Amino acid sequence: METSAAPLSSQEELQNNPKSASAFRTIGEVAAEIALPPHVLRFWESKFPQIKPHKRRGGHRYYRPVDIDLIREIKSLLYERGFTIKGAQKHLKEKKQEATSQPIMFDALAQPQAANSDNVQDFNRKDINRLKKILHGLEEIKVLLAAS
């Protein structure tokens, strides 16, 4: 008697996948991880210029973790939140403009606010995405430098 296994969560997939979390993934690996067919990922590349997988000889695509996070966000916008492609494009563009228009306060990051722990939590919630973007940018620079 065969039973179908429940789909793995992304955390379980990472534990079962021998690649590190920062490793590049092929289109097949990303498609399996995100539960989308590869042709959808290729189509989204044409509609969302923010998705920029590295292409090697023969046109093989290699997705960075930042690309995979963006694909997850696009999938959520389209499939869970009901956005159209144009609406999702606009949302991502506005989100990028909002993130780049706010100055990053490194002094505030260096000194925790011990007097009011609620402020520290608010600060972390507000700025954690900006810090992740900075980290991803630095990782991209590291990859580009290693490739040269």
pLDDT band at 31 (very low <50, low <70, confident <90, very high): very high
Rounded to an integer, what is the distance from CA 128 to the centroid of its chain?
14
What residue spans of the chain are helical by DSSP H?
A: 10-16, 27-34, 38-47, 65-75, 85-101, 106-110, 117-147
Quote the DSSP letter at residue 23: S
Find where tokens 């403009």 sit: 97
Tell me the whole-structure pTM to 2 decimals.
0.56
Question: Domains of the chain (ranges plus CATH)?
Answer: 14-101 (1.10.1660.10), 102-148 (no CATH)
Find where tokens 């920029």 sit: 52
What are the phi and psi torsion angles at 77 (to 5°)?
A: -60, -45
The 10s digit of each residue's pLDDT in 90-119 is 998 888 877 766 665 555 555 555 444 444
